Structure 1
Amino acid sequence: MADQVARGEEFEKKAEKKLSGWGLFGSKYEDAAEFFDKGANSYKLAKSWDQAGSAYVKLASCHLKLDSKHEAAGAYADAAHCYKKTNTKESISCLEQSVNLFLEIGRLNMAARYYKEIAELYEGEQNFEQSIVYYERAADLFQSEEVTTTANQCRQKIAQFAAQLEQYQKAIEIYEDIARQSLNNNLLKYGVKGHLLNAGICQLCKGKGDVVAISNALERYQDLDPTFSGTREYKLLAALADAIDQEDVAKFTDAVKEFDSMTHLDAWKTTLLLRVKEALKAKELEEDDLT
């Protein structure tokens, strides 16, 4: 490992020497780029990620001097992948540089990929506001390149985090739109009931006991997909709406338990349903205080 670090440092010294010397028609930048690339590889072999990241950033600068924007964008991405192991902030900064260059040269697919990667880094940091921003940028670019499946994966993340941040209407619109799109696709139509369940749970959170809004949503979902009313997902939402209407916490809990015993509810759904249950409990206590 130490040998590889020493080799990396040696390559960097050679690169710096080339840059400080005199070169014909940009040849010094080409020579320096070759040494920075070799240095970065040596650091990677030594798992010296910060040094590798730094060498790739210097390599990107050489490519920019040579007006090789595609290569510079790639070098920034390589730097980001090294920093990812040690320094999230630095990794995001390098990915931003990479994206900007790919956008400049019209490589929208690559830009979308790296926007998605930035979104995932923010997600890992539990920074859902920023994660949403970058998933939205990625989704827009994937959509413009007609990579619809990946665009919708990004949009589902946006809806998931929006609901966690209590931006229920935003989440509802996304889930309903994806359900609508999926109906016309033989491969995706089986996922429709799941999207409508997610939208319905967000309706329950948003409505805070507004049974009319929930009932209207269920009617809309039936119009959208006539098979929905026969699903367990529909029956769960209808049972929950009924429990809310009757202000019956026990009934609400039983409906959730029954569904969960056959189809496991993930942490996201459980969290949102708990919010609805807590609001229902609070309402029940209010009623008790009044009587």
Structure 2
Amino acid sequence: MLKAITKGLSSVIQGIEVAPLPRAVSVCTKDNLENQNNRLVKKKMADQLARAEEFEKKAEKKLSGWGLFGSKYEDAADLFDKAANSFKLAKSWDKAGSTYIKLANCHLKLESKHEAAQAYVDAAHCYKKTTINESISCLDQAVNLFCEIGRLSMAARYFKEIAELYESEQNIEQAIVYYEKSADFFQNEEVTTSANQCKQKVAQFAAQLEQYQKSIEIYEEIARQSLNNNLLKYGVKGHLLNAGICQLCKGDVVAITNALERYQELDPTFSGTREYRLLADIAASIDEEDIGKFTDVVKEFDSMTPLDSWKTTLLLRVKEKLKAKELEEDDLT
């Protein structure tokens, strides 16, 4: 009986035809998806651009029309703000920047200097993507306004941002000017860590421009300040090393020796560090006019504590001076 049932089921199953799966009408490739996404993005950006232009047009109309003085500029400011945001979403950075400047002017008419300063900052951040000089100009305007209303920590922050923009453009001289301004403002506001960061930038760039004494004074000052702070004490040997390398660049062995004595008095633990040993050994190699010793000393230190590009550049200058001195003496003999 069971066999008969099984046989019957088997024949039924065999008689069933399995229908083939329907073929996909179209296959979405990766390229197709990307193209579709790109079209959607472009459409959204075009829509935002149209919205921005419409908001801007309405704002201009408000300014040129009749109405209460305050109300007119408040309404225009609101519309310029919306326009600028839409220009940003459309990635139309120059238009966004110029619109934020119009917004700043409205706030100035309303005597809202803080809001005007912030609008200039927003303009600067838009121009940063296209025109660095315009970005710097807007940040300068913002800093002036922050100074007028006594927001000195904000002024310090944006002085630093200007310095960073000049640095990105390899304009080291102007970067130094603005890092110094930022350091002064941070110092006045007792934001010591930020002030020291800016001072270190000044020292770094001054040394690149061969203004070694300026760098030495800054690094020594930071080292002295750091000794009185438990959190900053660990960095003292690094600051003294930087000051010492700048001393080496000046090539005056007596001055180097005197500096090392000063550093020991400043921090009695310094004489037991590898940084002190490096400076003392290089000073000896300069005094002995021994390039081989100089190279070995630097190589040994670098194998334990890799030298950054700034230190390497300055030490190469020291080596070149040592080489030149050696060649000069060879010529005399």
Q: TM-score when scaled to structure 1?
A: 0.98
The aligned runs of 1:1-291 (5 Å cut-off) are 1-206=45-250, 208=251, 210-291=252-333
How many Å apart are 1:250 and its aligned residue? 1.1
Read off the aligned partner of 2:324 and give its amino acid letter. A
SS in 2 for 1:67: coil
Q: Distance in 2 between matches of 1:211 and 1:173?
A: 18
* Stretches of 4+ aligned residues off by more than 3 angstroms: none
Q: Distance in 1 between matches of 2:64 and 2:228?
A: 62
How many Å apart are 1:75 and its aligned residue? 0.2
Read off the aligned partner of 1:266 and give its amino acid letter. D
Read off the aligned partner of 1:45 and give its amino acid letter. L
Read off the aligned partner of 1:257 and give its amino acid letter. K
Aligned length: 289
Q: Deviations over 1:104-162 (max 9, x none)?
A: 01100100000000000001011111001101111111011000100000000000000
Q: Deviations over 1:50-72 (max 9, x none)?
A: 11101100000000011111100
Q: Distance in 2 between matches of 1:188 and 1:148?
A: 11
Q: Distance in 2 between matches of 1:5 and 1:51?
A: 10
Q: Deviations over 1:25-64 (max 9, x none)?
A: 3211110100100000001111111111011000000000
How many Å apart are 1:2 and its aligned residue? 1.0
Q: Distance in 2 between matches of 1:139 and 1:57?
A: 28
Q: Distance in 2 between matches of 1:25 and 1:32?
A: 11
SS in 1 for 2:279: helix
* CA RMSD of superposed structures (Å): 0.6
Greater RCO (CA < 8 Å, at least 6 residues apart): 1
Q: TM-score when scaled to structure 2?
A: 0.86
Greater Cα radius of gyration, structure 1 or 2: 2
Q: Distance in 2 between matches of 1:78 and 1:45?
A: 14
Read off the aligned partner of 1:36 and give its amino acid letter. F
Unpaired segments of 5 or more residues in structure 1?
A: none
Read off the aligned partner of 2:111 and give its amino acid letter. D
Read off the aligned partner of 2:287 and give its amino acid letter. D
Q: Distance in 1 between matches of 2:184 and 2:66?
A: 45
SS in 2 for 1:26: helix
How many Å apart are 1:229 and its aligned residue? 0.4
Q: Distance in 1 between matches of 2:295 and 2:56?
A: 64
Read off the aligned partner of 1:82 and give its amino acid letter. C
Read off the aligned partner of 1:281 and give its amino acid letter. K
State the match for 2:4 in structure 1.
Answer: none
Read off the aligned partner of 2:247 and give its amino acid letter. Q
Read off the aligned partner of 2:184 and give its amino acid letter. D
State the match for 2:19 in structure 1.
Answer: none
Read off the aligned partner of 2:183 and give its amino acid letter. A
SS in 1 for 2:80: helix
Q: Distance in 2 between matches of 1:38 and 1:84?
A: 20
